[in-house]
Structure 1
């Protein structure tokens, strides 16, 4: 795997002591700054926490095959936007290395991996699933919003092959009216990961297109707080 490339990051800092981190990956063509602004528009404020740092990395610009090779901020290349084609593993694995460096930055800041959650919107959710299922199964959780994995994804086998520990719990949300990434693709991804041995929860959002909405971000926020409680709650349970 090639040496990790330093990614640009947009950060929403915690308001108190930093004891946990969320890495939130944007969809194709977006940036970390753009995703943060989108979340803020939907919530009318940043998704911010007392003890959790929220990191929005930006994918480097690369030629993207579905756009006829035009440069776009995408986490990896696709042969086409379809669940039936092979995965472009060379670009996926390269980005797993780059994002692994973001994980290491948080570890150096004093946050262990079991106090981290990684997730994303659309392509960002697929990238998060590859990163966690294949390389960082010891994080606290993974989330995927309006996302899917290809039907023969290597991520499914990685979950099946997990030895000695359980893969992270998955939260998925998907709009029933999504015309870009069909609800059925998202639902099948959840089912196949569950069959492979992952604990999954899948939430259908009625009438939602390929978009973010307040309901799913509220669900996500509550789930994050459940998985990454404040230090006082965490200490009490330990």
Structure 2
């Protein structure tokens, strides 16, 4: 049975994210962070709790728990937030489409600029169309860097 209300192991997550952040020398406003499934959830945590200076976030077949610490952090936020690009298949049996949709609505209500791209009959997997949409979004978000790699 799916358990969307299972509480996040917040302390373990916070420690891991802070350790990763401390080790990096990245220019965050030049970066897009994202992932698939749990990787997308981790990306949303890192972006909306610790690095709101990112250029963007993507989450593919991902969700946040209903009581996520991300929502609590955003309720206290007053800065500009990175845009979220989200994709989800309607046939996903591992991370239900409704979970991704609820996550999107909640983030939007808390000030995140979001886009949710729905893929009918797609299970917990990636499609070529989804990857193309993501690529196009990344190129729009980081046009200078993308132009350098396409030369």
Q: What TM-score comes out, normalization by structure 2 length?
A: 0.90
| RMSD over aligned Cα atoms | 1.8
Give the match for residue 97 of structure 1: 18
Give the match for residue 42 of structure 1: none
Determine the C-alpha separation between the residues in 1 that align with 2:80 and 2:60.
Answer: 22
Seen in structure 2, the aligned counterparts of structure 1 residues 204 and 91 have a Cα distance that, compared at 3 Å, is: same
Give the match for residue 217 of structure 1: 131
Give the match for residue 158 of structure 1: 73
Q: Deviations over 1:152-200 (max 9, x none)?
A: 111012122112x211100100000000110000000000000011100
Q: In proportion to residue count, which structure has more strand?
A: 1
Q: Which SS does the other structure have where 1:230 is aligned?
A: helix
After the TM superposition, which parts of structure 1 deviate over 6 Å for at least 4 consecutive aligned residues? none
Q: Where does structure 1 lack aligned partners over 5 or more consecutive residues?
A: 1-79, 234-238
1:121 aligns with 2:36: yes
Q: What TM-score comes out, normalization by structure 1 length?
A: 0.58
Q: Where does structure 2 lack aligned partners over 5 or more consecutive residues?
A: none
Q: In proportion to residue count, which structure has more helix?
A: 2
Give the match for residue 106 of structure 2: 192
Paired residues, what number? 147
Q: Which structure exhibits the higher relative contact order, with contacts defined as CA atoms closer than 8 Å and separated by 6 or more residues?
A: 2
